[in-house]
Chains A and B, each alone.
Chain A
Amino acid sequence: MMSTNAISLRNIPAEVATIAEAIAQQTGLSLTDVYRLALASGVLVEATKITPDREGTYAGLDGAYLARALRRHLGSAIDLLLAYGEHPASSMLAYPPSTRVAGSEDAPPLMPDEEPDTDPLFDSSLGDDLESLGIGLGLSER
């Protein structure tokens, strides 16, 4: 159930507001939506900063659950940290050059945690047919 209590947020730093406005402008989201998304991500991060309670939960959230929820929110942030060598564990994450993203020396590998597809789950025939017919291209590929 969504809370219906209105909460007034004060003292938001001007640079934060500027970034939020830029995101809204670039994505077409309303400023309210940008702040709503930021709040949803932010409270999960804040939950990791507090000491677990006696039941071992973080702000009432089970650790495994919180980790799963955070993964969605932090995936892009971790990619950015890796791309610019700012990830705290960067030195431990050494990938062979062949797996780096073209055009960026420090860019992350496309699929660092995956093995080559030796036993595909789905036959390539349908994919090959689609390719020859000009079907199956995602918008990201265009």
Chain B
Amino acid sequence: MLTALHPAIHPDSVLAKVCQVCPLITSKGQELPRHVSLHVMDAITQLPIATTALLVAIDNGNDAFKGAIMHATLPQLVTRRVVTAYAPAKTIRVGEGITSYQVNGSERFWIGDEAINTQQSEGLPVGFTTERLPDERFQSYIVACLVEVLLEAGYEPAGYDLYTSFGIPNEEMTLHGARPDVTSALRLLHHTPFAIERADEHGQVTSWTIRLVELSPYPQSFGTFSAWYYTVDGKPITTTVVRHVTLDIGGGQCHDCAVDLDPRSDGRVKLRMSANLLGEGTIVMARAARDAIRAAHPGIHLSDAEAQQVLLTRTVVVGGHRLAADDIVEEVIAARGQHILTRMLPLVQEVRNFLMFTGGGSALLESTLREMVLPTRATHEYLFVPRELTPVLNVIGGYMLALASAGRMGKLLASPRHSISIEMK
């Protein structure tokens, strides 16, 4: 069913298509490409080797991994969010088990919600790419997440070469690509063959081999802008917006990403982007919630990931029971939310900006944010990304960025032509 679009969303944009759950078909009637044929430098021989790589977008968020890939057979972009949590797997004696992974002979481990719900959940590094990727558990976690993305999109257990766009904090990018130290950290994943064994909840083991033959870093918040600004064909929309500011309230950090759209005499629009770290993201509220819970129940020690889940689910497990934590969550939003909002205030007050709010935190703070923008702005001057898309819009745009960079490096392979009609009601 098609839903009415916000006036600030162009009907041809990728954002419009995903909002309306439309098939992602180009103007030539083709599904968005899934594969790129390219030559990559072999890590061992240092010679170019030919390969066909599957396109995947990653948004390496502090609170969660987000991945996007075209479905194996359907013209849909499939997204998957996996909470940043890791726990060594225990043997489940009775009942349904928990999906576990083993990467290149590592210990067996659980990820995401399953890891959080155990007593053994281990914190994975939070912060910048250089602080996170050297941790081997984190590398294992990322490739396990990629297996989940492939499964979700209907791919069979097999060996896959992946061409990935990789979302990193905005401030880690320069005009010449990712900072050198960030590039070095990303090389820990580049070309490394990962052999993954996945044991599902019934104990069924499947084997996967994943190799990231290319990583193309992009500033996370630029993904959201891309989904708003480009069509499925990769063309810019026609817009009167000349200054677009994305306010991305993520789990670990809060960023702004300002893009100036400068129309030129030849009809093209020149883009200029600046991005800043505004401060900590929802982790500020999560840690306050953790402290409040600990004050009320001294025996409960929540990890950062567990505390973020309290914000999202508004529940906490006490004495074996899952209890509502609405009061605590409302209190910390009221008390600590202001800390985040204060940092954004200058951008909100600058009424020449078009504002786009995204990230998991924008949903938590939406009512307060609306109170801030409503008095000074018309509907078409700001946009709250629909709640169900806030956690994944960066990575949806990231897929478009993967297409663009892969198309420059190799040859995108055509997906089937589609003949489809959409009934407008």
Contact = CB atoms under 8 A, between A and B. Distances in A.
Interface in B84-117: 104-105
Nearest to B177: A137
Contacts, number: 154
Contacts of B195: 33, 36-37
Contacts of A33: 104-105, 193, 195
> What is the size category of the interface that chain B forms with chain A?
35 or more
Contact of A32 (B33, B105, B161, B412): B105
Contacts of A133: 175, 222, 271-273
B177 A76 contact: no
Interface string A33-73: 10011001000000000000000000000000000000010
B205 A138 contact: no
A137 B405 contact: yes
A79 B48 contact: yes
Interface residues of A, number: 47
B181 to A, nearest CB: 13
A141 B216 CA distance: 9
Which DSSP category, helix, strand, loop or mixed, fits chain A's interface?
helix
B123 interface: no
Interface stretch (B125-133, B349-357, B396-404): B396-404
Given A137-B216, A139-B183, A126 B411 contact: no
Contacts of B42: 76, 79
B425 interface: no
Contacts of B338: none
A70 B45 CA distance: 18
Contacts of A28: 192
B44 A27 contact: yes
A114 B411 CA distance: 8
Contact of A136 (B104, B193, B404): B404
Given A76-B47, A126-B234, A130-B404, 20 more contacts: A29-B104, A72-B161, A75-B49, A76-B42, A79-B47, A79-B49, A80-B45, A80-B47, A111-B37, A121-B30, A122-B234, A124-B234, A127-B405, A129-B271, A130-B405, A133-B222, A133-B271, A135-B218, A136-B408, A139-B186
Interface of B: 26, 28, 30, 33, 37, 39-45, 47-51, 104-105, 159, 161, 173-177, 183, 186-187, 190, 192-193, 195, 197, 204-205, 207, 209, 214-219, 222, 226, 230, 233-236, 268, 270-273, 400-401, 403-405, 407-412, 414
